[in-house]
Amino acid sequence: MKPALKHFFDSMDAYLAGPHGAEGLSKLSAAHPGWEVAPERMALYGQFVRGHVRSTLEKLFPLTRQALTAEAWDALVEGYTRTRPARHHELNRLGEGFAPFVAEAAGQKALPPFLPALARFEWTDFAVFASEEVIPERVEQLTPNPTLAVLEQPYRLCAYVRSQDRGAGPVAGDELALLWRHPERLVTFYMEATPPALLVLKMAVEGLSEDAVAQATGMAATAVHAEVVRFAVDGLVLRPAG
């Protein structure tokens, strides 16, 4: 980035994060000598940016928002807008730092204890959906879905996110969550890691055959095959054709 352009963005960061009104405009004018700053236009620009940040956060973190009062959510959004200035041209990337921000804020405010984990889950859900990892159409051997993300979390969030009744909040308890983008349906799938899922992933990562796993575990070969097929249908792993 050219120095002049960097200076512009840095000064706009300071303006958006700083005091509103005449004081903020005065500092902006001082950063750009000779620039005539129209107060009404700058106010409109600030509202435009803040509106985009708010609407993006509300789209990416609907469950985090629902877990809070309107006042608490407004305070989080305002604090995030002030301390995490929007820099990326792709609007959804405005939410990239929100989960860490929630984790920091949770130590300073009376927020639900599960909120940082929930925000991280929601961001991972979107990041998996938007992943630029290429899912091959054909594979020669059992292969993990390249968009797979693994979250260790202190709450049972998979059941909570799937539930229609979230009034009481998620149940506390260690959970290993798997999230991946389905190769055909192109949506994020998620589940709590189960022994069968981890077994099939181990097979894909280590190149283990179904017969070898059946012999090592004592499972029937038909049962091993059924698990491989099931998780291939769900897109957790990619299976050779035929």
Whether residue 221 is contained in a domain is answered as yes
What pLDDT was estimated at residue 83?
A: 77
> Tens digit of pLDDT for each residue in 15-49?
666 655 556 667 766 777 766 666 555 554 555 56
Query: In the chain, how many domains are there?
Result: 1
Whether residue 165 is contained in a domain is answered as yes
Tell me, what CATH number does 162's domain have?
3.90.930.50
Report the C-alpha gap between 155 and 67 in whole angstroms. 14
Binned at pLDDT 50, 70 and 90, residue 152 comes out as very high
The first and second tokens of residue 50, run together, are 């803040």
What average pLDDT does the chain have?
87
Whether residue 120 is contained in a domain is answered as no
What pLDDT was estimated at residue 228?
A: 97
Q: Does the CA dihedral 167-168-169-170 come out positive or negative?
A: negative
Whether residue 210 is contained in a domain is answered as yes
Count CB atoms within 10 A of the CB of residue 23.
Answer: 10
> Tens digit of pLDDT for each residue in 47-83?
556 667 888 999 999 999 999 999 999 999 999 988 7
DSSP per-residue letters across 59-111: HH-HHHHHTS-HHHHHHHHHHHHHHS----SSGGGGGTTHHHHHHHHHTTS--
Collapsing DSSP to helix, strand or coil, 29 comes out as: helix
pLDDT above 60 (res 217):
yes
Report the C-alpha gap between 121 and 163 in whole angstroms. 15
Whether residue 177 is contained in a domain is answered as yes
Q: Domain span at residue 208?
A: 134-242
> Tens digit of pLDDT for each residue in 167-187?
778 999 999 999 999 999 999
> Tens digit of pLDDT for each residue in 98-107?
999 999 998 7
> Tens digit of pLDDT for each residue in 108-142?
778 999 999 999 999 999 999 999 999 999 999 99
Binned at pLDDT 50, 70 and 90, residue 158 comes out as very high
